[in-house]
Amino acid sequence: MKKNVVGMLALSAMAFAMGSAFAQETAKAAPEMTAAEKEQAKKIYFERCAGCHGVLRKGATGKNLEPHWTKKDKDGNVTEGGTLKLGQQRLEKIIGYGTDGGMVNFDDILTKEELTLMAKYIQNTPDVPPEYSFKDTMDSWKVMVPVDKRPTKQMNKYNLKNMFSVTLRDTGEVALIDGDTKEIRSIVKTGYAVHISRLSASGRYVYVIGRDGRLSLIDLWMEQPAVVAEVKIGFDARSVDTSKFKGFEDKYAVAGSYWPPQYVIMDGDTLKPRKVVSTRGMTVDGEYHPEPRVASIVASFTKPEWVINIKETGQILLVDYSDIENLKTTTIGSAKFLHDGGWDASKRYFLVAANASNKIAAVDTKTGKLAALVDVAKIPHPGRGANFTHPKFGPVWTTGHLGADVLTLISTPSDKKSDAKFKEYNWKVVQEVKHVPGNLFVKTHPKSKHLWADSPQNPEKELAESVAIWDVADLSKPVKVINVAKDSGLPVTKATRRAVHPEYSADGKEVWISLWGGKTDQSAIVVYDDATLTLKKVITDPKMITPTGKFNVFNTQHDIY
């Protein structure tokens, strides 16, 4: 890992070092750790664990990891109210081998010593990190290339519509790969473990947000696309989007933070911070929560609004950006632990997974109300989901699951007269398609007849390295299961190379799969012909280190999935 990434992570980890006298007293019964061990553990927790379990370890997608669950008490008892406490040995096994509920095994990611260290760490009381103010945000803001110094037209000859923004997770970089030639056009230094790339309405700018809270703005029009502005919005972040409604194209950007729990509104072309808004408040159950993290954000197509999903509270915010000085927000209660989601085919309804509640919430952005709350299988994780027309049930939106062996199809409304006959199915689960647990992403394309699903969180190596494909006209069984690791031609290793995040080319003819290896293993992107389901190209390079998410410019710009 490069020095500046290590520095940023160290700073973020050090920020977790604040604790109360009460916390120190409670920690006395926990396993002892040296200061150096705590710093090492904080860094690992930030990188690998906080996303699912929370900075304060209160749980969301992952289980609550506060000491009253993780450590045995002073008398050595292992039950509390009939619930099994974990303790050192059991924790080491869970962290090492993973769980059927969707937690990945870390025995090929962490050393034995690190597994022991992390089991000790989560038996100690969580440290409370500091806040991050508007002033802190402003102080971090940098403009490398002012707007008046940028090109007024595209200066390169790349087909930008078919460019892919690829996260190189562990190096804190994004690779811009030409979808036509499969060549790496630029590797751009960004924040650590970029979670998502989003496009401006015009398709010119790429916004990438890292797990360390660093937001980078990439200008694709430059002769060599590069970062032209950046800002740090917090210590931990996941989500970003732009203003897309007519008259507001490229005007604003908004990014959401996991810690502190807040979102930041910025100027779209410079990332100059304009407003910081806290998301702390009451859950849908009426309880106060100190860490309601901003999960997914999308820009509405029907109004000048962002749909901002607040994980722990289960509140969906419709934020009107037409007047950011007098901000108006509609708050819609749904279900706790909101995570990721995507638009239905009409782009009127946004569907988001309340994953630890095993529900999908649907918001009608035209009326500004909750359209439905649909019960689904364990821990839905749709990514953006997948839209297609089912031969029996009409338009459907699809999610996979981390904790269940199915893909779930939900009927979605349509204004087309030809779809009126499907109205009776709307907002119902119309079919469950057999898959395997550990799925993160499903994907299809309007020009494709196939539905692709990965399973990178499955504890079985072969399943984690494979993807399954169905014909949407017949979902009775996969038409093919592909072992992407074998197709890559890379040397076989003991460690798992996870096949993750299918992404279509702009024309819908290719599907790109990341083969996510360890930091010291060669990784790759494996490209398939969608019509024939055959291998087309393996993109590999010494600089291709831990690729994960891939975002096609045209598909991301227009929310095509």
Would you call 289 a catalytic residue per the annotation? no
User: Taking Cα atoms as reference points, which of 238, 249, 239, 234 lies closest to residue 204?
Assistant: 249
Instruction: Measure the CA–CA gap between 503 and 523, rounded to whole angstroms.
Output: 17
Would you call 49 a catalytic residue per the annotation? yes
Selected catalytic residue, list 8, 103, 222, 266 = 103
DSSP letter for each residue of 153-195: S--S---GGGEEEEEEGGGTEEEEEETTT--EEEEEE-STT--
Q: Is 82 left (phi over 0), alpha (psi -120 to 50) or beta?
A: left
Would you call 501 a catalytic residue per the annotation? no
Selected catalytic residue, list 118, 266, 289, 381 = 381
What's the distance, Cα to Cα, between the start and end of the chain in Å? 33
Residue 18, Cβ neighbours under 10 Å: how many? 11
Cβ 371 vs Cβ 427: under 8 Å: yes
Selected catalytic residue, list 195, 289, 339, 435 = 339
Q: Which residues pair with 329 in a beta bridge?
A: 319
Selected catalytic residue, list 53, 390, 450, 501 = 53
Would you call 381 a catalytic residue per the annotation? yes
ω before 146 within 30° of 0 (cis)? no
Token reading at 222? 């430059």
How far is the CA of 327 from the CAs of 252, 274, 277, 320, 423, in angstroms?
14, 12, 10, 6, 36
Residue 146, Cβ neighbours under 10 Å: how many? 11
Would you call 195 a catalytic residue per the annotation? no
Selected catalytic residue, list 8, 14, 52, 222 = 52
**Contacts of residue 403, Cβ cutoff 8 Å, sequence gap at least 6:** 100, 101, 102, 377, 378, 379, 437
Would you call 401 a catalytic residue per the annotation? no
Instruction: Measure the CA–CA gap between 366 and 351, rounded to whole angstroms.
Output: 14
Q: Name the residues annotated as catalytic.
A: 49, 52-53, 103, 339, 381
